[in-house]
Amino acid sequence: MNRKQFLKTSALAGASLLAVKPVLSAVGSERKEKLRLGFIGVGARGQSHVEECAKRNDVEIVAFADPDEAWAIKSGQLILENTGRPEAVVYANGDYDYLNLLKRTDIDAVFISTPWEWHVTQGIASVRAGKRVAMEVCGAMDIQECWDIVNAVEETGVPIMMMENVCYRRDVMAVMNMVKQGLFGELIHLQGGYQHDLRGVKLNDGKSPYGKGVEFGKGGFSESKWRTVHSVYRNGELYPTHGLGPVAMMANVNRGNRLVSLVSMASKSRGLHDYIVANGGENHANAKVNFKLGDVVTTLISTSNGETIMLSHDTNLPRPYSLNFRVQGTKGLWMDDLNKLLIEGVTESHQWTADAAFMEKYDHPLWKKYSKEAEQAGHGGMDFFVINDFIECTKKNEPYPMDVYDMATWYAITPLSERSIEQGSAPQEIPDFTRGKWMWK
Ligand SMILES: NC(=O)c1ccc[n+]([C@@H]2O[C@H](COP(=O)([O-])OP(=O)(O)OC[C@H]3O[C@@H](n4cnc5c(N)ncnc54)[C@H](O)[C@@H]3O)[C@@H](O)[C@H]2O)c1
């Protein structure tokens, strides 16, 4: 079977949900009935992972590492108590106590859901300690980090799964099905992005997210404690994976295709400042903060197969949530903001057609099968699928559908976009983190 045929058939038949053959093979051959899990970071996202894992009878929740005992650890333990599970062992003695969690020999895998600046350091320490990793989404601090994590996984043979949950969104998987079945013809242009009004998350009253406060850093709560600081010092595509992950999978990036170069441009920065003035007054100390992050950052990426991919990062202005997907090929076009598509020869030409009937017809078989389980899970159900894939692949010792090469490639967009903006939108080469394995013929 050649590569193309493989991708076409495996898109429906494979064991994993995304079913694109990963570059790296998993280590070992031991199969496990039950996994013992540790959680590094038990904040908002960590708790949602704990909650989802606590529903499963094939996992034990062994330990939590998080310096915030008062909120994070307490809330995590409450989830265990409410689901009749034993308390987790706690590592809350500062930022480095996760290293003691990693010393335990009764943990198979860890979930990392910490602030962005910790992901790679903790991911490397985890694989070096022999723990498989479920890694939350973000962008890298610099390019070296991306190489460091690839090298650590290659040296240890302990794999990492990139937990890009949007790849499992129901409509995204249906469109992936349509792409693999050729409805769009050959792909030409793709779009995605992170367009989410986070002003209330980045600036709040220090008690809960979505308050109307204007605090961040030490005075903040959850993401406002750390995410907002990135907006003070950095200007780039800070959150690339929700937009890029799904379209990279559709375009077989790292599996016969690769990202080659990018250019980025940033608008001026007004949103966070205006929000502070509106909610805290002109004289509030934070009204003097100069936010570096442009309100709308646009990035254009080229691929070796000749597609273009546009990403947009837009988190500081009033707007409805949208990941801005657009999938365009020689025979068709889908735009998720419109919930509409056009398929040449099938729908009316030069007209939009509602995508609902197509979503139903091409609904992924796994969504049909597990929609009930997914119903209760976070983010419209997609969190069930991403966790299920991680747990099942780990138990069976199968390779992950999104691996460390995907992680490095997607994370790299952030520092490269920062550099491009700094250099007046100069093109930046995107490294081939697979070192040629993307071609695997
Ligand atoms: N995939 C998704 O849909 C999704 C949704 C939300 C957040 N996230 C990602 O999850 C991660 C966490 O975000 P969040 O919203 O939970 O933030 P959060 O601030 O609520 O939680 C982060 C937690 O990490 C803890 N922490 C900080 N330093 C640590 C260290 N050295 N060791 C261990 N724990 C440490 C903090 O005390 C906090 O409890 C981020 O990367 C974010 O981008 C992903």
Q: Are 174 and 362 in contact (CB under 8 A)?
A: yes
3-165 shares its CATH topology with 167-365+404-439: no
The tens place of each residue's pLDDT in the chain, 441 residues long, gives 333 333 333 333 333 445 554 544 445 567 889 999 999 999 999 999 999 999 999 999 999 999 999 999 999 999 999 999 999 999 999 999 999 999 999 999 999 999 999 999 999 999 999 999 999 999 999 999 999 999 999 999 999 999 999 999 999 999 999 999 999 999 999 999 999 999 999 999 888 877 789 999 999 999 999 999 999 999 999 999 999 999 999 999 999 999 999 999 999 999 999 999 999 999 999 999 999 999 999 999 999 999 999 999 999 999 999 999 999 999 999 999 999 999 999 999 999 999 999 999 999 999 999 988 888 887 888 999 999 999 999 999 999 999 999 999 999 999 999 999 999 999 999 999 999 999 974
Distance 42 CA to ligand 1 centre (A): 7
Q: Do the strands 340-343 and 332-335 form a parallel or antiparallel pair, or are they unpaired?
A: antiparallel
Q: Does domain 167-365+404-439 have CATH number 3.30.390.30?
A: no
Distances (CA, A) of 206 to 86, 101, 202, 228: 30, 29, 10, 13
Cα 45 to ligand 1 centre (Å):
6
In whole angstroms, give the CA distance from residue 115 to residue 309. 27
Structure tokens at 399: 């390779």
- Beta-carbon-side half-sphere exposure of residue 255 (alpha carbons within 13 Å): 26
Q: How many whole angstroms separate alpha carbon 235 and alpha carbon 293?
A: 4
Q: In the chain, where are the structural domains located?
A: 3-165, 167-365+404-439
**Cα of 332 to ligand 1 centre, how many Å?**
38
Which CATH number fits the domain 3-165, given the four candidates 3.30.160.270, 3.40.50.1860, 3.40.1160.10, 3.40.50.720? 3.40.50.720
Pocket of ligand 1 (CB under 6 A): 40-46, 65-68, 72, 95, 98, 113-116, 118, 136-138, 165, 222-223, 225, 379
Which ligand 1 atom sits closest to the C-alpha of 72? 39
Q: From atom 7 of ligand 1, which residue's Cα is the shortest distance away?
A: 45
| Distance of alpha carbon 432 from alpha carbon 408, whole angstroms | 9
